[in-house]
Amino acid sequence: MNEKYWMWRETGVSAYELTPQEALAEAIENNLIREAFQVIGQGKEAFVCWGIDEEERQIALKSYKIYRTTHRQRINNTSRISPYQVIKQFAKLEFYKTLDLFELKLPVPQPYKWHDFSFSMELIGDNAGPSPLLKDFSKEYFDDPSELMEKCIDFLYDIFQLHYVHGDFSEHNIILHNEEIVVIDFLQTKKFALKDSIDGGSKLIPLTRAYRILQRDVNAILTYFKRCHRLQADQNEVLDYITGDIKNKIEKELELKHEMSY
Ligand SMILES: Nc1ncnc2c1ncn2[C@@H]1O[C@H](COP(=O)(O)OP(=O)(O)OP(=O)(O)O)[C@@H](O)[C@H]1O
Ligand SMILES: [Mg+2]
């Protein structure tokens, strides 16, 4: 760790972007990972590393980097806290959301440990490394892509019926492992209330906001299947299926909103 980094960490004054080496050094110190093999994902906000932990488990370590403006927009009231506190909050949020979904038996990686701006989770893959994302498969690979589309829609159904929306559902966040889908990347995931009026302190988002997020998720995945596999699905029919009995409540809230706007 260099001096500039520690200064920044203590004071939160200057913006500084962590390198994978720095994040790894800290994760090793905190017993999240014992040995790192390879960086497997390097995005704008986080990087993911494949390695092994103290218990000899194959893991994926996700570390958040310094915040950017998009981060700040996402979480309210963070403008006064240091960048370090923001990324720490992201790692903690994603760790616990993934844990909730894992405990609800959805096909997501099992989260192992969280510390500061990193968390470790089960590697979706094998001893040879991580399994590929849906976006990395050529269309010729699939004999019957409609089966895969059904699996994706069923995931959206299952998560919605448990009152969660993913928020960034697409071929970029779906790993294909042993012919099954495993979904990742839960920073934007939200739990919703079955109505729009919620208490100020509630961690739940209003129902119709969740519905808008669901519409985006459905649109993203149907666009992928249309573009890559020439599969057509009626977006409204898919939404009706996913929302099931909750659809009535959504319609009631939407009607109420419509009336209020007059
Ligand atoms: N548990 C896991 N097992 C295997 N690979 C994983 C796992 N978690 C993440 N990855 C890999 O790391 C990449 C980045 O992970 P993730 O989508 O959670 O982060 P991100 O912030 O969206 O990064 P990016 O901007 O690169 O998408 C994934 O696209 C995937 O290839
Ligand atoms: Mg991602």
What stretches of the chain adopt beta strand conformation (E)? 35-42, 46-52, 58-64, 111-115, 118-122, 125-126, 129-130, 164-165, 174-177, 180-183, 190-191
In the predicted model, what is the mean pLDDT of the chain?
Answer: 90
Q: What is the pLDDT of residues 126-164, one digit of tens each?
A: 999 999 999 999 989 999 999 999 999 999 999 999 999
| Same domain as 110, residue 170 | no
165 touches ligand 1 (CB under 6 Å): no
- Atom 14 in ligand 1: which residue has the minimum CA distance? 41
pLDDT at 3: 55
125 touches ligand 1 (CB under 6 Å): yes
| Same domain as 170, residue 204 | yes
pLDDT at 13: 45
**Ligand index nearest the alpha carbon of residue 123:** 1
Query: Quick check: 49 and 33 in contact, CB under 8 A?
Result: yes
43 touches ligand 1 (CB under 6 Å): yes
Taking residues 240-254, report their average pLDDT.
97
- Is 54 inside any structural domain? yes
Range of the domain at 19: 3-128
Q: What is the pLDDT of residues 191-245, one digit of tens each?
A: 999 999 998 889 999 999 999 999 999 999 999 999 999 999 999 999 999 999 9
| Same domain as 196, residue 172 | yes
Q: Measure the CA–CA gap between 90 and 66, rounded to whole angstroms.
A: 11
Instruction: Please name which of 156, 165, 154 lies closest in space to residue 207, comparing C-alpha atoms.
Output: 165
3-class SS of residue 46: strand
pLDDT at 79: 54
Question: Is the predicted pLDDT of residue 38 greater than 70, yes or no?
Answer: yes
Domain boundary among 128, 153, 188: 128
166 touches ligand 1 (CB under 6 Å): no
**Nearest ligand 1 atom to alpha carbon 184:** 18
Query: Quick check: 37 and 13 in contact, CB under 8 A?
Result: no
**Nearest ligand 1 atom to alpha carbon 132:** 31
Instruction: Determine what percent of the chain is predicted with pLDDT higher than 90.
Output: 77
**Ligand index nearest the alpha carbon of residue 43:** 1
Q: Measure the CA–CA gap between 239 and 90, rounded to whole angstroms.
A: 29
174 touches ligand 1 (CB under 6 Å): no
pLDDT at 96: 98
**What total number of domains does the chain contain?**
2
The residues, ordered by sequence, that sit 6+ positions from 140 with a Cβ below 8 Å of its Cβ are none
Q: Measure the CA–CA gap between 131 and 8, rounded to whole angstroms.
A: 36
The CATH number assigned to the domain holding 177 equals: 1.10.510.10
**Nearest ligand 1 atom to alpha carbon 122:** 1
Query: Which of 184, 186, 188 has most ligand 1 atoms within 8 Å of CB, for mutation?
Result: 184
Ligand 2 centroid to Cα of residue 168, in Å, is 8
